[in-house]
Amino acid sequence: MTHHTDVRQAVEDDIAELVRLRAMLFEDLGGEFFNPSSAGDDWRDALARVLKEKIAADDARILVVDGDGGLAACGFGTIEQWFPGPHSRNGRIGHVIGMVTDPAYRRRGHGRAIMHSLLDWFRERDAVRVDLTASRDGESLYRELGFFDHPDPALCWRP
């Protein structure tokens, strides 16, 4: 059976559902890094404020698939201007952030449809590379779409 998925740009009325889906993502990832016990709920208000600002910004693309009475899936894309180099002719680096599908809507192609739309958006904006951090569940899809291991080790620092 073929599924047709309609992907659309998120609007302000979607913000509460986007926050719900992003919270679901962090619950799925678990662990003290992604879902620290000390976090509280302040981050949800901060996320809602940033979503409201970025929903129509030129450097971000927030895509959704509608479900019954809410959102079935979402994915965020951003582009940053880094410094160009031989490996990055224009320094425009894309990031895929927060790809999540509500468990009731998984295995229907929603994530794939969102990713295809995001990749088109990155191409239109001349991104030279797109980075993402894959969950175990999403890794096979991303590799199928052409993503590969980054040559640098991923490190981070928190002040």
The residues spanned by each domain of the chain are: 7-144
55, 11 contact by CB (below 8 A): yes
User: DSSP states of 61-81 as a string?
Assistant: EEEEEE-SSSEEEEEEEEEEE
What percent of the chain has pLDDT above 70?
Answer: 90
> What pTM did the predictor assign?
0.89
CATH topology of domain 7-144: Aminopeptidase (3.40.630)
Amino acid (1-letter code) at residue 84: P
pLDDT of residue 1: 37
Higher pLDDT, 29 or 50: 50
Question: Among the listed ranges 32-36, 93-97, 148-152, which one has the minimum average pLDDT value?
Answer: 32-36
Contacts of 2 (CB under 8 A, 6+ apart): none
Token pair 């990749």: residue:
119
Label residue 54 by pLDDT band (50, 70, 90).
very high
98, 75 contact by CB (below 8 A): yes
Rounded Cα distance between 1 and 24, Å, is: 28
